[in-house]
Amino acid sequence: MSQYGGTLLVAIAQDGNSNILPVAFALVEGENAESWSFFLSHLREHVTPQPGLLVISDRHNGIKAALEAPDGGWLPPAAYRAFCIRHIAANFALTFKGKDARRLLVNAAYAKTEVEFDYWFDILRSENPAMCDWANRIEYSLWTQHCDEDRRFGHMTTNISECVNSILKGVRNLPVCSLVKATYGRLAELFVRKGREAEAQMGTGQQFSQYLVKCIEANLRTARHFTVTLYDRDNSEYTVAETTPTGSFSLGTYRVSLGSKTCDCGYFQALHFPCPHALACCAYSRLTWQPYVHEVYQLSSVFGVYQMVFAPPIPEGFWPPYAGPTVIPDPSMRRAREGRPRSTRIRTNMDEADPNRPKRCGLCRQPGHTKRSCPQAAGPSGTARNQ
């Protein structure tokens, strides 16, 4: 934030076409309870007043205090909270070393059924019972997918927040007013472009988003290996047998309820669109799969996401007279002019590079050398260096 320090708080969402969109920004002095309370209270009041929202975040005490405030509007049933499993795994790794144990914890969190969760948790318990005791201190509904009451729609991390860096690229070191204007303009352009894309798709007669269509097509290919063995047409209850591609032996059976939109595999209720087993039932009963898709995947819902109106900002010359307090910058927060700024980022195992991944040149992206010694780097005379 120019020559003064500060922290950028961002709220990120995702539409039914798997497009990532930022919905709110705030420049604050630091990541503390007061700042998070200011940000989340205004977010709830002005941007996301709709009920039933799920907030996925890390376990920062400032976020916890803001979401649990009685007058904040984030308490159930108006809104719910869940933890990012990548941050949970990073906290877990601080106590228990080893990538295998962390992988088991993540697999248990991603499990869509209780049976699958118990399978991974039992393996984790056999490694070290203390690991399970550590995980049991966190409420299951906050970090496991099978206990989230189908609110996550498959989202387990906050990694999508990293994708908004392209919007802020090139404006981080601008003064505050210029930074806000640039971010505002880029967001307005993003919403207009995505809205036109959704409108164009609706003009072709499509009903659902491209993301859903791709998922359904993949599930339809898998559904060919399933056979409906029992069914109750009146109650839309089915039993589906999964066989090998050659049909030589069975891999298991699953119960599917089209009426309640559930399946034993857990994908139907977790992702809110038909899994391969449900599609096999639809084909067997000659039913269309469209009624069993959540409305969030409809193009009309995607188009509605980008209907927000961005009013042009008032030019500074037309601002009304200001009679409030005068804010004077704190000299102690000013950054040093010389030298590289000291990083205050708290690094975790998420920032560690994969040791098995070969290093590549920043110029030609080939392994085995660096940008300084790259044979494709042109010298002052226009010839290649180091030859």
pLDDT band at 345 (very low <50, low <70, confident <90, very high): low
- What is the arrangement of strands in the sheet containing 250-257, beginning at the earlier edge strand? 226-232, 237-243, 250-257, 262-263
The model's pLDDT over 184-208, given as tens digits with 9 standing for 90+, comes to 888 888 888 888 888 888 888 889 9
Average pLDDT over residues 17-23: 87
Pairing assessment for the beta strands 7-14 and 262-263 based on DSSP bridges:
unpaired
Cα dihedral 37/43/45/48 (nearest 10): -140
Average pLDDT over residues 251-274: 93
Query: What is the residue-wise DSSP string for 281-303?
Result: HHHHTT--SGGGS-GGGBHHHHH
Question: Which burial class, exposed, middle or buried, applies to 206 when counting CB atoms under 10 A from its CB (0-12, 13-18, 19+)?
Answer: middle
On the question of pLDDT at 257 being above 70, the answer is yes
Helix-then-strand count for the chain, H and E:
13, 8
Query: Cα separation of 171 and 165, whole Å?
Result: 10
pLDDT band (50, 70, 90) for residue 383 = very low
pLDDT tier, 266 (very low <50, low <70, confident <90, very high otherwise): very high
Q: What is the pLDDT of residue 224?
A: 85
pLDDT of the residue at 4: 58
Confidence of residue 29 (pLDDT cuts 50, 70, 90): confident
Residue % of the chain over a pLDDT of 70: 87
pLDDT tier at 381 (50, 70, 90 boundaries)? Answer: very low
Q: For residue 385, what pLDDT is reported?
A: 44
Tokens representing residue 293 in the block: 């898709």
**pLDDT tens-digit map of 126-184:** 999 999 999 999 999 999 999 999 999 999 998 887 777 766 777 767 778 888 888 88
Neighbouring CB atoms inside 10 A of 325's CB total: 6
The mean per-residue pLDDT over the stretch 332-343 comes to: 66
pLDDT at 48 over 50: yes
Indicate the pTM of the whole model. 0.79
> For position 191, what pLDDT does the model report?
87
Domain spans in the chain, listed from the N-terminal domain onward: 7-166, 210-297
Sequence-separated (6 or more) residues with CB below 8 Å from residue 274: 216, 219, 268, 282, 289, 292, 293
135 touches 112 (CB < 8 A) = no
